[in-house]
Structure 1
Amino acid sequence: MLMENEAATPARAQLPQGDRSLLLVDDDKPFLQRFGRALEQRGFDVTTADSVAEGVAAIRAKAPAYAVVDMRLSDGNGLDVIEALRQARADSRTIVLTGYGNIATAVTAVKLGAIDYLAKPADVDEVISALMHETGNRAEPPENPMSADRVRWEHIQRVYELCERNVSETARRLSMHRRTLQRILAKRAPR
């Protein structure tokens, strides 16, 4: 039997019965607040954290049923939060959000217990769909996948960040001429 509040909010009725606790970890505070409110409006009991330390502390206080974790955080890597959640609660469902997607971190996130890996910007409905997606079923292919130029640009940006914004070191690691790399870095991101 549905309560009046649940009948009035169709999105809430779509959530499975039981624990609706969700941990949202991202170091972009405006995004964290907006996304947290949107998830609360859809029936989740949201706890927010803006660092690895806060995320792990929230998990120790009460391990949530769901989590949405950014990969790059100001004090470390979101994989640490995913691992802490898996150890605290094996049945939790975790989604990784990142602006710097790559295959190696996606594989690591899945091995640590994440059920999906979404590129930013992802909207709330995409995240909820990924959280509620039945395991074992194939996910729908994205309607607007990244272009090959965008994937290349994302990879270059990631290596550039890993090299602490050192152009010479990035060019060496990418086996690319330094001037070519500088021209690529000076351009806007392709679509």
Structure 2
Amino acid sequence: MAPDPTRTLLLVDDDDTLRERLARALTKRGYTVITAGSVAAGISAARANPPRFAVCDLRLGDGNGLDVVEAVREANPDARIVMLTGYGNIATAVAAVKAGALDYLAKPADADDIVAALEASGGERPEPPERPMSADRVRWEHINRIYELCDRNVSETARRLNMHRRTLQRILAKHSPR
């Protein structure tokens, strides 16, 4: 399917590999994709060429993706926006929706899930995920999120999670569960 100039999509993610892979997949699905790797570049792109659709990562190297969502919403109030994150929780999902995002997807989300969220009509309820995260994976994501919020301080993270420091170190040393 050839890209449609009326279906402009701003894709903001600081992971170069993921951003380029998603850009190719979304271009194949008929979107004209503009990419950005930072909050500053995303805001600039949104203001220069207000997109009809946007897909934005929540945590970017230079700030919060919610700032990009607000800039897209200011540039085009009718834009359909989806947030992506590897650090999903209820508080950030609520903040994303309040900022103007339609949906909130956990990474790794594939292009079909993203397109389904972008194209869903307002009254439709999204289908449950085909492969939801396991309970072990949700726990691991939560622990890593707190660890990142504590600036990778193991002792502080262990204190906040009410967990022994050595136990936390063992969990952090393992690969993420599926």
TM-score (norm 2): 0.94
- The 1-side partners of 2:74 and 2:164 are apart by 45
Q: Which amino acid aligns with 1:134?
A: S
Q: Give the C-alpha shift of residue 19 in structure 1.
A: 2.5
Match of 1:95 in 2: 82
Percentage of pairs with the same residue: 66
Say if 2:43 is the partner of 1:56: yes
- The 2-side partners of 1:152 and 1:138 are apart by 26
Secondary structure of 1:20's match?
A: strand
1:47 to 34, 39, 42: 34
2:126 to 107, 132, 139: 139
Match of 2:106 in 1: 119
1:178 to 149, 165, 168: 165
Q: Which amino acid aligns with 1:62?
A: N
- The 2-side partners of 1:76 and 1:123 are apart by 24
Greater gyration radius: 1
C-alpha root-mean-square deviation of aligned residues, in Å?
1.6
- Paired residues in the alignment total 178
Q: Give the C-alpha shift of residue 179 in structure 1.
A: 1.4
Match of 2:52 in 1: 65
After superposing on structure 2, the runs of 4+ consecutive aligned residues of structure 1 that deviate more than 4 Å are none
Unaligned runs of 5+ in 2: none
Cα deviation code 1:110-138 (max 9, x no counterpart): 11111111111111111111100111221
Unaligned runs of 5+ in 1: 1-8
Q: Which amino acid aligns with 1:150?
A: R
